[in-house]
Structure 1
Amino acid sequence: MRLVCISDTHSMHRQVTVPDGDVLIHAGDCLGVGTLEELEDLDNWFSEQPHRHKILVAGNHDWCLQDEPADAEALIRNAIYLRDCGTEIEGVKFWGSPWTPVFFDWAFNLTRGPAIAERWAKIPADTDVLITHGPPAGILDQVITATHSQAVGCDDLARELERLTLKMHLFGHIHESYGQQTVNDCLFVNASTCTGSYKPLNPPIVVDL
């Protein structure tokens, strides 16, 4: 199964050249300012892609999916939207969740500790591919500036991963840490399409599972 992974397109999805594959996965921050109109355009774009399956998880910029969930989710007709739930495609079990630790005042933010750990505890033990918007602590989670770098991933998520036997964990959120890393036989993918300067220059990451 070929997975084509993108994230953090911030409504610039039409500027992305997407390779063919079996499943196109968007790991959140699909919208710019988070409007229903932006989401409708994204869904139309999904309909134009050749992949047999598409999966969408929300991110901290995707306000309408948090604040107007009924109206927003009704617009998603051409992708499987995962909000603390899963789907199985050709025997592969996917689970998606949008939450990230509180950072200023964004959508789908929860405080570190019990509030966000409760969400991660819902991830089934037999999940093959986990899709979260943000990274676990210590893996592709470095915010890098001209003067310093800082790891901002979720410690609670990292602890929860210890009970799982994932094949792959896909996320975005931290644009500067785009790339791949294998840890304990799990492939971690930060598929942020936008760079730190919000330019959609990072190509989709293709994984043959």
Structure 2
Amino acid sequence: MRLVCISDTHSMHRQIRVPDGDILIHAGDCLGAGTLEELEDLDNWFSGQPHRHKILIAGNHDWCLQDEPAEAEALIRNAVYLRDSGTEIEGLKFWGSPWTPVFFDWAFNLTRGPTIAERWQQIPADTDILITHGPPAGILDQVIIDSQLQSVGCDDLARELERLKLKMHVFGHIHEGHGQQHLDDCLFVNASICNGNFRPLNPAFVMDL
């Protein structure tokens, strides 16, 4: 099973090269301004991709999926959209969730602590592949703030991962964290396509499970 992982394309999906595979995973921030028109274009693009399965979650730029969920979700015809929900593909169990800790005033933001932790507690224990928009604290989540490298991932998500036996965790959100890291038996992937300057220059990740 070949998984192709992307995130943070910000409506520049037509500018990137996506390798072939069995499952295409988009971990959010698929839109730029977050409009229904952008989402419809993304879905049309999905229809032209060769992957047998496509999975999409939202991110903090994807406003229409938060503010107009019925209209927005109706436009997604060529991918499985996950919002605190799961799907199973050929024996692999996926769970997707869009939430990130509050940062200014973006979409799908929740306060750290019990509010966002409640979302992570919904992740089933038998999940194989977790897709969240943001990273857990301490894993591919560092940015430079005031000339210092700081970890900005979600502590509550990191704590919840301790009860899960994931094969893989895919996320984005922190463009500067693009990369992969093995920890215990889980592969963590920050699949941000856009770099820190919002240019779609990072490659997609391809994994065989």
Task: Bin the TM-score by the shorter chain.
Answer: over 0.9
Q: Would you say 1:180 and 2:198 are equivalent positions?
A: no
- Give the equivalent residue in structure 2 for 1:89: 89
- Partners of 2:146 and 2:44 in 1: how far apart? 38
- Partners of 2:61 and 2:150 in 1: how far apart? 21
Using the TM superposition, give the Cα deviation of residue 150 of structure 1 relative to its aligned residue in structure 2, in angstroms: 1.2
Using the TM superposition, give the Cα deviation of residue 133 of structure 1 relative to its aligned residue in structure 2, in angstroms: 0.1
Gaps of 5+ in 1: none
- Give the equivalent residue in structure 2 for 1:115: 115
**Which residue identity does 1:172 align to in structure 2?**
G
- Give the equivalent residue in structure 1 for 2:68: 68
Using the TM superposition, give the Cα deviation of residue 148 of structure 1 relative to its aligned residue in structure 2, in angstroms: 2.1
Gaps of 5+ in 2: none
- Give the equivalent residue in structure 2 for 1:32: 32
**What secondary structure is seen at the aligned counterpart in 2 of 1:143?**
strand
Q: Would you say 1:200 and 2:200 are equivalent positions?
A: yes
Identity rate of aligned residues, in percent?
A: 83
TM-score after normalising by structure 1: 0.99
- Give the equivalent residue in structure 2 for 1:129: 129
**What secondary structure is seen at the aligned counterpart in 2 of 1:162?**
helix
Root-mean-square deviation (Å)? 0.8
Measured against aligned partners, the alpha-carbon deviations of 1:58-102 in whole angstroms (never above 9, x if no partner) come to: 000000000000000000000000000000000000000000000
- Give the equivalent residue in structure 2 for 1:103: 103
**Which residue identity does 2:153 align to in structure 1?**
G
- Give the equivalent residue in structure 1 for 2:190: 190
Count of residue correspondences: 209
User: After TM superposition, where is structure 1 displaced by more than 3 Å over at least 4 residues in a row?
Assistant: none
**What secondary structure is seen at the aligned counterpart in 1 of 2:163?**
coil
- Partners of 1:197 and 1:146 in 2: how far apart? 17
TM-score after normalising by structure 2: 0.99
**Which residue identity does 1:8 align to in structure 2?**
D
- Partners of 1:185 and 1:122 in 2: how far apart? 22
- Give the equivalent residue in structure 2 for 1:160: 160
